[in-house]
Chains A and B, each alone.
Chain A
Amino acid sequence: MIRAENLSFTFGDFIVEDISLTVAPGESFFILGPSGAGKTLLLEILLGIKPPKSGRIFLNSTDITAAPPEKRGVAYVPQDLALFPHLTVEGNILFGMKEWGPQVQKRLDRWVELLNLGNVRKRRDVSTLSGGERQRVALARALIREPRVLFMDEPFSALDVSLRRRLQLEFRELQRNLGLTTVQVTHDPEEAFLMADEMAIMIGGRIEQVGTPNSLYNNPANRRVASFLMLQNLFFATVKGKTSEGLLDVRTNTDTLLVDDDGGHEVGDEVYLGVRPEEIILVRSERVEYHKETPNFFFGKVTGWVDLGHYRLVNLRVGEWVVESWLNIRAAREFPMSIGEEIGFHIRPGSFCLLPSEGERS
Chain B
Amino acid sequence: MSSRGLTLFLGVAVAFAVTFVAGLLAVELGYARPGDLAAALKNGELRHAIFLSLTTATIAATLALLAALPVAYALARHQFPGSFFVDLLLDLPVVLSPVAVGVSLLLLLRTTPGRWIETHLISFIFETPGIVLAQFTVALALSIRVLKAAFQEVDVRYEQVSRFLGLNGWETLLKVTLPLAKRGILAAFILAWARSMGEFGATVTLAGAVAGKTETIPVAIYLRMASVDITGAVALIVLLSLFSLTALLMVRLLVRAR
* Residues of A bordering B, CB below 8 Å: 47, 49, 68-70, 72, 74-76, 78, 80, 82, 84-86, 95-96, 98, 141-142, 145
- What chain B residues lie within 8 Å of A72 (beta carbons)? 164
Q: Which of B140-148, B154-162, B236-244 contacts A (4 or more CB under 8 A)?
A: B154-162
Using Cβ atoms and an 8 Å threshold, which residues of chain A touch B166?
70, 96, 98, 145
For the residues of A in contact with B, the DSSP-based class is loop
Additional A-B contact list (6), CB under 8 Å, known A78-B161, A80-B157: A69-B164, A70-B164, A74-B164, A75-B165, A98-B166, A141-B165
Determine if B163 is an interface residue (Cβ-Cβ < 8 Å): yes
Whether the pair B158, A69 counts as a contact (CB closer than 8 A) is: no
Chain A residues contacting B176 (CB-CB under 8 Å) are: 84
The 9 tightest CB contacts between A and B, nearest first, are: A96-B165, A69-B163, A76-B164, A82-B157, A82-B161, A86-B179, A96-B166, A70-B166, A78-B157
Contact A68 B165 (CB under 8 A): no
Contacts of A74 in B (CB 8 A): 164
A85 to B168 Cα, complex, angstroms: 20
Assess the B160–A76 pair: CB atoms within 8 A. Answer: yes
Complex CA–CA separation, A82 to B162 (angstroms)? 10
Cα distance A117–B166 in the bound complex, in angstroms: 23
Total A-B residue contacts, Cβ distance less than 8 Å = 52
Given A84-B176, A86-B180, also A96-B157 (CB < 8 A)? no
Q: Are A84 and B158 in contact (CB under 8 A)?
A: yes
In the complex, the chain A residue whose C-beta lies closest to that of B182 is A86
Q: Mark each residue of chain B from 84 to 97: 1 if its CB lies under 8 Å from any CB of chain A, else 0.
A: 00000000000000
Residues of A contacting B175 in the complex (Cβ-Cβ under 8 angstroms)? 95
Q: When the two chains form their complex, are residues B164 and A85 in contact, meaning their CB atoms are under 8 A apart?
A: no
Question: A70 CA to B160 CA in the complex, in Å?
Answer: 9
Q: Using Cβ atoms and an 8 Å threshold, which residues of chain A touch B54?
A: none
Do the beta carbons of A49 and B162 come within 8 Å of each other? Answer: no
With both chains docked as a complex, state the minimum distance between the C-beta of B166 and any C-beta of chain A, in angstroms: 5
Least distance between A201 CB and chain B CB atoms (Å): 26
Pairwise interchain contact B165-A85, C-beta atoms closer than 8 A: no
Alpha-carbon distance between A86 and B183 when the two chains are bound, in angstroms = 12
Interface residues of B in 166-183 (CB under 8 A from A): 166-169, 175-176, 179-180, 182
